[in-house]
Structure 1
Amino acid sequence: MPLSDPSATQNSTIYVLNGPNLNLLGLREPDIYGHDTLDDIAGRLEDRGRELGIEIDMRQSNHEGHLIDWLHEAGARGARAVILNPGGYTHTSIALHDAIKSIAVPVIEVHLSNPHARESFRHVSFVGRAAKGTIAGFGALSYLLALDAAASL
């Protein structure tokens, strides 16, 4: 049973959850992930969120359990949606898959790069199998596209 009552009034908060190594954006492999930092992306999301009348709650952790706890929190608080960049957990985490399935809040998986254009081990997404949809390959713009998608749900 999902962790929120779908008939409850939905709030205007969209959680933006970021997994391992995303705190190093702008420094880590900029040829793949770009030069924008997570703070740069957060600023753009805040600006777009204000235009849409949406509150952004952006968080990052290198720990899988934190991401799971935040997904549960989004469900319990009736968030409008979750945008999730699970980083390397994309390809390994059944626990994140199960956490997404346990909440009634729609989750949009987002990636800066296109995992399907990279190493074969990145072609499988356990998160994507549970998410409402996936946006990938557009660099930092992927987050804004995901925000617009989440706002339209």
Structure 2
Amino acid sequence: MTATIEQQYQRFLQVNALLAEEADHIDRRRWREWVDMYTEDSVFWVPAWRNEDETTQDPKREISLIYLPQRGIEDRVFRFSSGDSYASTPLPTTCHTVGSVRVVEDQGGELRVLAKATVVTMDPRTGVTTRGVWYDYRLLERDGRLLIAAKTATLLETVIDGTVDVYNV
């Protein structure tokens, strides 16, 4: 059965609200709430660029900038929020602007969503950095709530100047 225009629009609004909420949790450092937006077996991946035109495709066999399987986000958040990550001390402030959101597949309880983002990072050590990012999400609906099962964040820069972590991609 094909969803009506109204149903598609409501789903689009639900997805946009989720992505805005995720960005806000990161920017305001509400780490517990952010981690809780992900499923227990989620994957967070930032692929590396293989060349000018293509990224790595297999995080288990190729280089990645970040690869956090199965709640690795929670471990990473603990590390940088506890002060155990020298590269993240002091923790920079960020401003995520997410747009161009498209629901490209909606199989009832599972969605594939593409979006684009601009992330501004204000780091007291290195100054201001602006990054362009492509997002590819796999979302799951559980008990009427959308959760993030997988997030791929592709940085548009091929040469990274500074640190890259889950909060500034």
TM-score w.r.t. length of structure 1: 0.30
Larger Rg: 2
Whichever structure has more strand as a proportion of its residues is 2
Whose relative contact order is higher, 1 or 2, with alpha carbons under 8 Å and at least 6 apart?
Answer: 1
TM-score, normalised by the number of residues in structure 2: 0.28
